[in-house]
A and B are shown apart, each in its own frame.
Chain A
Amino acid sequence: MSSILVVQQAGRNRISFEAMAAGRVLAQMTGLAFETAAVGDPNATVFIETSGPQPAAAHAIQHPLLEQYTSDGYVLAFEQFIRKLAPAYVIFPHTYQVRDFVPRLATRFHQVLISDVTSIEPGPAFTRQLFQGKMNGSYRHHGEGPCFVSVQAGAFPAAPPQAGTTPIHPFIPEIAATDIRTSPGEPFRASSQNVDLASAQLIVGVGRGIKDAANIPLVQQLADALGAELAASRPICDAGWLPMERQVGSSGQTVAPKLYLAVGISGAIQHLVGIKASQCIVAINKDPHAPIIEIADYAIIGDLFEVVPALTQAVKAAKQ
């Protein structure tokens, strides 16, 4: 039976539920039933709770060699499972794990993953961002074979979780220890995080627009005047201008302050996913078309080297 398969990732419930929401959008559009699968024990949380209407079927892909994630193990397991199920669409959450193995999996089917999708339109047409969010591209899948799709975090609102009642079918793939060529170690954190941006109420974020390490004090003064924490986009930390622990975005911290003031940050999606939960976003940027402007509540279009000192003065004046 041709169906829509939504693959959930254990331990990543929120984005997995968003993938379920995307699956339902596609199910309504195509009239196909939707099923779900995940690697892990049938008692794993990913199946105890579900989001929205119950799927037509749930599959637990189980094998001792899948207990620790490896690309080789997952590709082999999902290749066998998908050949058996023969779904029309396979939808994944766009996590680092999915980025690591699904392009390889899709290649086994002579298919190409439509990655990081933000919306699905009739056709179906899949929208994803191009040029770091400056443009959208509309993609289509042609021919036979499953269409592989991954969905961006936050793009498809997840329904509230409820108890899962769909019976769970186990699937045991054939994997040998010699199939797995890499030896992964346990995940670790680099250093203790001394800066807790996650609980900060006011954050000033600085990006490439600051141009040079010597200009960092300019934004530090604004942060000090506001009583805010200073944060940065990835390039600033890559360059060593601020420590890694101040990085906000998909590879850094996720923040949810009352105010996020983005200075010279264009707003690549990797940064935006880290600040989306902010109550109020302000952008100071010279480019009126920068993606950060799209999601900001307030924006000043101009030279940050003029605007930031003026803002520092205005904040100080307001506090007197």
Chain B
Amino acid sequence: MKIIVAIKQVPQRDAVIRIDAAGKWIEESDIEWALNESDAYALEEALLLKENSGDPASEVIVLSAGPERVGVTLREALAKGADRAIHILADDLASRDALGVARLLAAAITSEKPDLVLTGLQSEDLGLGQTGVILAELLDLPHASLILQVELLVAAAPHTRIKVKRELEEGWFQEITLPLPALLTIQSGGNKLRYATLMGIKRAKLKECRVLSAADLAAPSGSVVTLASVSLPQRQKSTQILTGSPADAAATLVEKLRTEARVL
């Protein structure tokens, strides 16, 4: 079973984000980067499926588009157990909309002929939540989104059908059966994430990381939707910030909740 996991490198959760001088994007120079959270769950699901496939020829390939720094995140995925990596080297991703980025990924995926393509549900930076679903359309694959669990319905290779658990709103779920090949977007929390072992980190250095240039992929560029500017959100409410020592602030808060907000 061949599984491709499309992953994204995003600013670390605690990163202090500043708008750049032009007001068009963020200042990227001093940011620490990390693997997007739901993509980490997509990778975990792929590694579990490989282990459960009963097929020694099973393979997990991680794929990412972006500048040189993205190589670090791909190497971390290899250390966790992915077999090889494909890096679409592109410095101009910001000039592509979601369709433009998906076209790059699709061009790299097509020649691999995978049985399953996984992506995280949504990125923590742009939060468009679309790349996976667009990819499914470009690759002409059936898809399911917001997936928590994947089950192989055929005990041994070749695996032709899967059953997935999809999250719906407000605590509801649904099971969906799909033929392979298919694409799934993975929701966070379905599995426990593994850490890279020391051995895994050593082995990752020897694994293949193929670099493709965006120009080689002949994916049309240009955007129908553009991000014109970024700004800080306006305050919606007048928030009272309570200052002082923890004990003073706590006492003031209790007093205000009793007498001002009248909720205690």
Which A positions have Cβ atoms within 8 angstroms of B? Answer: 71-72, 75, 95-96, 99-101, 103-104, 106-108, 110-116, 125, 128-143, 145, 181-190, 193, 202, 208, 226, 234-235, 237-238, 240, 244-245, 250-254, 258-259, 279-280, 282-283, 288, 291, 293-303, 306-307, 309-311, 313-315, 317-318
The CA-CA distance from A251 to B42 in the complex, in Å, is 18
Closest B residue to A99 using CB positions:
B129
| Selected contact of A99 from candidates B138, B145, B170, B241, CB within 8 Å | B145
| Selected contact of A112 from candidates B97, B142, B145, B192, CB within 8 Å | B97
Q: Fill in one digit per residue for B208-247: 1 if any A CB lies within 8 Å of its CB, else 0.
A: 0000000000000001111111111101110111110111
The CA-CA distance from A245 to B245 in the complex, in Å, is 35
Let me know if A183 and B177 touch, CB within 8 A. Answer: yes
Q: How far is the CB of B230 from chain A (nearest CB, A)?
A: 5
Let me know if A182 and B174 touch, CB within 8 A. Answer: no
Q: Fill in one digit per residue for B136-167: 1 if any A CB lies within 8 Å of its CB, else 0.
A: 11100011111000000000000000000001
Residues of B within 8 A of A297 (CB): 237, 239-240, 261
With A188-B172, A280-B257, A298-B242 known as contacts, the answer to whether A138 contacts B231 (CB < 8 A) is: yes
Closest B residue to A258 using CB positions:
B263
Let me know if B225 and A104 touch, CB within 8 A. Answer: no
Residues of A within 8 A of B242 (CB): 298-300
Question: B91 within 8 Å of A by Cβ?
Answer: no
Let me know if B146 and A130 touch, CB within 8 A. Answer: no
Q: How far is the CB of A111 from chain B (nearest CB, A)?
A: 6
Which B positions have Cβ atoms within 8 angstroms of A? Answer: 11, 13, 17, 19, 26, 97-99, 102, 124-130, 133-134, 136-138, 142-146, 167-179, 187-189, 192, 223-233, 235-237, 239-243, 245-247, 249-251, 253-258, 261, 263-264
Residues of B within 8 A of A250 (CB): 169
Residues of B within 8 A of A129 (CB): 127, 233
A-B contact count (CB 8 A): 256
With A135-B17, A282-B253 known as contacts, the answer to whether A259 contacts B129 (CB < 8 A) is: no
Q: Is the interface of B mostly helix, strand, loop or mixed?
A: mixed
Q: How far is the CB of A205 from chain B (nearest CB, A)?
A: 15
Let me know if B254 and A95 touch, CB within 8 A. Answer: no
The CA-CA distance from A240 to B193 in the complex, in Å, is 12
The CA-CA distance from A75 to B239 in the complex, in Å, is 44
Closest A residue to B264 using CB positions:
A259
Let me know if B127 and A132 touch, CB within 8 A. Answer: yes
Let me know if A139 and B225 touch, CB within 8 A. Answer: yes
Let me know if A251 and B167 touch, CB within 8 A. Answer: yes
Let me know if B145 and A100 touch, CB within 8 A. Answer: yes
The CA-CA distance from A103 to B98 in the complex, in Å, is 9
| Contacts A181-B142, A310-B246 known; 17 new A-B pairs at CB < 8 A | A75-B137, A96-B146, A99-B130, A107-B138, A112-B98, A138-B230, A139-B225, A185-B176, A186-B174, A188-B172, A251-B167, A259-B261, A279-B263, A295-B236, A298-B256, A317-B251, A318-B258
Closest B residue to A288 using CB positions:
B241
Closest A residue to B145 using CB positions:
A100
| Selected contact of A96 from candidates B102, B169, B188, B257, CB within 8 Å | B169
Q: How far is the CB of B86 from chain A (nearest CB, A)?
A: 22
Let me know if B189 and A237 touch, CB within 8 A. Answer: yes
With A187-B168, A296-B237 known as contacts, the answer to whether A182 contacts B177 (CB < 8 A) is: yes
Let me know if A136 and B173 touch, CB within 8 A. Answer: no
The CA-CA distance from A129 to B250 in the complex, in Å, is 32
With A115-B130, A193-B171, A234-B188 known as contacts, the answer to whether A130 contacts B251 (CB < 8 A) is: no
| Selected contact of A130 from candidates B125, B176, B243, CB within 8 Å | B125
Residues of A within 8 A of B255 (CB): 318
With A112-B97, A139-B225, A188-B173 known as contacts, the answer to whether A131 contacts B124 (CB < 8 A) is: yes
Residues of A within 8 A of B171 (CB): 189-190, 193, 244-245, 251-253
